[in-house]
Amino acid sequence: QVHLVESGGGSVQAGGSLRLSCTGSGLTYGRGCMGWFRQAPGKAREGVARIDINDRTTYVESVKGRFTISKDDAKNTLLLQMNSLKPEDTAMYYCAADASSWDVCDSPILGRRDYNFWGQGTQVTVSS
């Protein structure tokens, strides 16, 4: 059973923009938050952005000022607007939802994977 589905990935030149979307039956806050992760070839999966049930957002330092996470409740969609893209943003991007622990949503560690549902990923490739 597929709980989350991402879309919106693609190939762009540096400086370009993409908007990722995530939707599905698993798109719930669970114990308070949901987020976006990414994984580049040969690297560990890292947390990119998180939004909680009160719309508080948290970002990894490398994307601050360029990426924006938001939730469209009417469409039950989690969004990640990515502007001023850089080649180092190239990765598979995953959405995660239904936080499974009470403290993951306040944790300064965005990379914690305490979520029950994950999407299959959407590829983002940024060329220089």
- Work out the widest C-alpha separation in the chain, in whole angstroms: 41
pLDDT, tens digit, 9 for 90 and up, residues 69-124: 999 989 999 999 999 999 999 999 999 999 999 899 999 888 899 999 999 999 99
CB contact at 8 A, 98 and 29: yes
* pLDDT at residue 56, rounded to an integer: 95
CB contact at 8 A, 73 and 7: no
Structure tokens at 71: 């939730």
Q: Please spell the DSSP secondary structure of 9-42, one letter per residue.
A: -EEEETT--EEEEEESTT---BTTEEEEEEE-TT
pLDDT, tens digit, 9 for 90 and up, residues 49-67: 999 999 999 999 999 999 9
Q: Chain-wide mean pLDDT for the chain? A: 95
CB contact at 8 A, 18 and 86: no
* pLDDT at residue 102, rounded to an integer: 85
